[in-house]
Every structure is written in structure tokens, then in C-alpha cells.
Amino acid sequence: MKLFTKMTKIALFGATLGFAGNSFAAEAMDLDSLLKTLEQGKTQQSAQNKQREQEFSARQNEQVQMLKNTQAKRNQMLAESERLETQFEENEIKLANLTDTLSKRMGSLKELFGVLQQVAGDSSNKFATSVVSAQLPGRGAFMDELAQKMGSTSKLASIEDIEKVWFELQREMTEQGKVSRFTTDVIVEGGNKAKQEVMRVGAFNLISEGKYLDYNTSTNTLSELTRQPVGRYTSTASDLQQAKSGTVQFALDPTGGSILGLLVQAPDTSEQVHQGGAVGYVILGVGLLALLIAIERFVSLMLMGGKIRRQLKDAVPRDDNPLGRVMKVKDQYPDVAYDTLELKLSEAILREMPKITRNLTLIKIISVVAPLLGLLGTVTGMINTFQAITLFGTGDPKLMAGGISQALVTTVLGLVVAIPTVFLYTILNTRSKNLLLILQEQSAGIIAERSEKGA
């Protein structure tokens, strides 16, 4: 009974879904009505299936016709593909024949155009780096365009193109032998632009306002070198720019700037001194001290010598010079024997000797110590060099340059201080000895005079 009830509920639910729009949803139905409804739904479904089968059968002929049309179109496409493939092969043969005919007819012209393309490419690179382009810009654009046109599209050059290539090459050659002036923007110190007269010396150098210029090929701009070479080079640039005619000496860089760049990078005297480091400063300090002492001694000995020479001409002794003070000993001891007077005079000379030879020993010491300090700097620099080699190897010479520079510069500074110091010491020592010799000579004369009186 329970199973029958469940089946009834399922049948009612299906009938309700299938015929929701009918009046069966509004009123209850018995089992006979439900069975009748199910029979009607099955009959209706069978009728729909038969209708679909009839429609499919009716369209079968149409589908067969579509298949035949598609197959015919495929066969037509295959035939067209075979025809096009045959035509492509025939065109390849014709193209090869035409290319062979073109090569035979061109003959040596093909080689000419190849050389022309190569020359145009090389000239484009040459014009880009030539300083002549600072005065005549835009010359490389045509050469580059011609080279690319002949290389990528294999298009032949015209007579006008060939003549223009010849003209540009001839103009470059002609301008290399000229010294010309033109006005353009120059980037001066500080980064500002200024209109200046620029002188171009062939294809080698550009100068303005007595300074060498650098030509930037990427931006086509001129700028003053951030660091100019030494004065003997820039002076020739000024002379050349100021000259109106005639022959003027000029420091020319035939490499187009390479040698000038190396000269600019070379350190000047002050930078070389700084490379000596602490030892170099010490050497310069003792050298300056020796120079000051030598100047003081030279002036003192010169004044002292003048006073002694004046005393030689005067019989009355004075206290403003060593000879006068020595001569006063004779008047201080008028009655002593000549041997006692000799001792008194020797004592007076010894008293004057420190004033005459003062600080000369210090100059001599400096002349000896300066090379030793230079040697100390050399050893220190070599130690730094070997330490750099130990850490980084010998692959980069710049890592060793600092130590080697210190080693060489300190040696030079030591010799530069020692050599003139030795000369100064020799001159001052000779002068002081001459003064002492005068004192001894006059002292011997006084002793001889007293000895004659005692006899």
C-alpha cells in the first residue's frame, strides 16, 4: 500500500511538471484520469519523434548536396594550389635567369656599386668623428642613408648620388688642409653656452679664446676642455687665433685629440708634489727651512763682510763688526807680551766664530737628510705597491700607480732639496771661512807688530 502511494505521488508530480498549464493542476484527479493523461502524453511524444525523423529525412538530401559542394570546392582549391606551385617554380626559374642576365649586363658596375656602398659607410663613420663636421654638420646623414639603401634594398645609386659622394670626399680632403674661422655656440666653463669665434686647424684641433675645444660627436657640440694643457701649448693657440697672416707656431695634435687628452691627464707640478704624500711634505718643509736659513746667513755674512772691509780701511776699531772687536784686544792689553796677546786674540776670534758660522751645520745636515727622506718615501711607496699587488694582483696597473708615484716623487723631491742645499752650504761655508781668514790674518799682523816692539 505504501509503494502504491509513492508511485501515485511520483506520477502526479510528473503530470504536474508536464502539464502545468492545464486544469489538472487546479483539481484532483483519479487514477483513471491519470492513466489517460499518461497515454495522451506518450502519444504526443511519439508524434513529435516521428515529425523529427521526417524533418531529418527531408534534410538528408540537402546535407548530401552540401558535402558534394564542399568536396568540389576542395578539389578546386587543390588544383589552384598545384597551379600556383607550378607558377612559383616557373617564376623562380625566370627570376634566376633575369638575375643572371642582370649580373652579366652590369659587369663591372656591380663591383663599382659594392665599392660605393663600402665607401659611403666608411665615410659616414669618418664624418661623424671628424672635427670638420663641427663647421659643416649633417654630411654623414647622406652617406649613411645611401649605404643603407644600397645594402637593404639592393637599389642602385644614381649618377647624382655618385657625384655627391665624390663631392663630399673631395670637400673633406680640401678642408683638412685649411685653417678656417667660424662662429658657433661653445660650452664654456660652468656649463653655459656662448657665441664665440672658433678656429679649426685642418682636421686636427679646434681652438677658441686661446683654449683648446672638445668636439662631442654624439651631440654635435663644442666645449672647452675642463683642463687645458700647460701654458706653452695654450700660448701657441692664442698666437694662432690672433694672427691675421704669416706663419705662426702652433702645438698641433695630429691624432685629432688623443695626444692632447693624454697631456691634459698628465699631472702638473703641484699634483706631482701632492703625490709624494706626507714624506714629500716633510722634505719640502726641511727644504724651505734650509732655504730660509741660507738666505738669512747670506744676508748676514754679506753685511758682516761689508763692515769688515770698511774696518780694514779704518785704523780706529769699532764694535759693529768682528774685526773691530778683535782689534780692540790690542788696546785692552797694551803691555802684555806678544805670546799672551796671541792667546787673547785667538780667544777673541773664537768668540766671533759662532756668529760667523751660525746655522751652517744645520744646512749641511738638511742636505744629507733630504735624500734619506726621499729614500724613506721610496721604500714606503714600494711597500704600498707590493701590498696592492698582493691584494689585487697585477691585472690593473692603475692600482700600483699610486705607490710607484709616491716612490718616485719623494726621491725626486729629496734630490731637488739636497742638491741646491749642498751648493748653498758650500757658498756660505766658503764666505764664512774667508771672513775668519781675514780675522786670523789681521790677528797675525797685530802679533807681529807687538813682537817687533818687544824686540
Give the residue, 400 or 298, on which the prediction is more confident. 298
Q: Does residue 406 sit in the same domain as residue 434?
A: yes
Percent with pLDDT over 90 in the chain: 16
Residue 398, pLDDT > 70, answer no
Residue 17, pLDDT > 60, answer no
> 211 pairs with which residues across the strands?
208
Which of 176, 207, 222 marks a domain boundary? 176
| Cell numbers describing residue 200 | 679649426
Q: Does residue 393 sit in the same domain as residue 441?
A: yes
Query: Rounded mean pLDDT of 266-281?
Result: 76
Q: Does residue 293 sit in the same domain as residue 429?
A: yes
Which of 87, 106, 125 marks a domain boundary? 106
- Single out the residue of 383, 378, 403 nearest to residue 283, CA to CA: 378
Q: Does residue 304 sit in the same domain as residue 432?
A: yes
Could you tell me the sign of the dihedral formed by the alpha carbons of 350, 356, 359, 363, in that order?
negative
- Would you say residue 354 lies in a domain? yes
Q: Does residue 102 sit in the same domain as residue 115?
A: no
CB burial of residue 217 (10 Å; 0-12, 13-18, 19+): middle
Percent with pLDDT over 70 in the chain: 85
- Single out the residue of 258, 189, 194 nearest to residue 224, CA to CA: 189
| Cell numbers describing residue 295 | 738666505
Number of domains in the chain: 4
Q: Does residue 357 sit in the same domain as residue 384?
A: yes
- Would you say residue 61 lies in a domain? yes
With residue 438 as reference, give the H or E element that holds it: helix 398-454
Instruction: Confirm if 351 and 362 have CB atoms less than 8 A apart.
Output: no
397: pLDDT confidence band, cut at 50, 70 and 90?
low
Question: For residue range 43-56, what is the model confidence (pLDDT) as tens digits?
Answer: 677 777 777 777 77
Instruction: Confirm if 422 and 350 have CB atoms less than 8 A apart.
Output: no
Residue 366, pLDDT > 90, answer yes
Residue with cell 521526417: 54
Residue 140, pLDDT > 50, answer yes
- Would you say residue 422 lies in a domain? yes
End-to-end CA distance of the chain: 188
Q: Does residue 201 sit in the same domain as residue 164?
A: no
User: What DSSP letter does each residue of 159-209 carry, written as one string?
Assistant: HHHHHHHHHHHHHHHHHTT-EEEEEEEEE-TTS-EEEEEEEEETTTEEEET
Q: Does residue 313 sit in the same domain as residue 414?
A: yes
Give the residue, 27 or 366, on which the prediction is more confident. 366
pLDDT at 18: 46
Q: Does residue 149 sit in the same domain as residue 240?
A: no
Which of 238, 266, 294 marks a domain boundary? 266
pTM of the predicted protein model: 0.54
- Would you say residue 76 lies in a domain? yes
Instruction: Confirm if 158 and 149 have CB atoms less than 8 A apart.
Output: no
Q: Which of 118-132, 172-186, 293-307, 373-387 has the highest mean pLDDT?
A: 293-307
For 413-451, letters b (16+ CB in 10 Å) and e give: bbeebbebbbebbeebbebbeebbebbeebbeebbeebe
Q: Which of 127-131, 344-348, 383-387 has the highest mean pLDDT?
A: 344-348
Residue type at position 389: I
417: pLDDT confidence band, cut at 50, 70 and 90?
very high
What is the rounded distance in angstroms from the CA atom of residue 199 to the CA atom of residue 364?
Answer: 55
Question: For residue range 162-204, what is the model confidence (pLDDT) as tens digits?
Answer: 888 888 888 888 888 888 888 888 888 777 888 888 888 888 8
pLDDT at 194: 86
What is the rounded distance in angstroms from the CA atom of residue 415 to the CA atom of residue 120?
Answer: 58
Q: Does residue 186 sit in the same domain as residue 138?
A: no
CA angle at 14 for the pair 9 and 16, rounded to the nearest 5°: 90
- Domain span at residue 185 reads 181-266
Q: Does residue 208 sit in the same domain as residue 328?
A: no
Residue 265, pLDDT > 80, answer no
- Would you say residue 73 lies in a domain? yes
Range of weakest confidence among 310-319, 386-395, 396-405: 396-405
- Would you say residue 449 lies in a domain? yes
298: pLDDT confidence band, cut at 50, 70 and 90?
very high
Instruction: Confirm if 432 and 357 have CB atoms less than 8 A apart.
Output: yes
What is the rounded distance in angstroms from the CA atom of residue 437 to the CA atom of residue 322?
Answer: 12
Q: Does residue 285 sit in the same domain as residue 424?
A: yes
Radius of gyration over alpha carbons of the chain, in Å?
Answer: 57
| Cell numbers describing residue 296 | 738669512
- Would you say residue 1 lies in a domain? no
| Cell numbers describing residue 366 | 738638511
Range of weakest confidence among 341-345, 372-376, 390-394, 436-440: 390-394
What is the rounded distance in angstroms from the CA atom of residue 165 to the CA atom of residue 143?
Answer: 7
What is the rounded distance in angstroms from the CA atom of residue 446 to the CA atom of residue 324?
Answer: 12
- Would you say residue 62 lies in a domain? yes
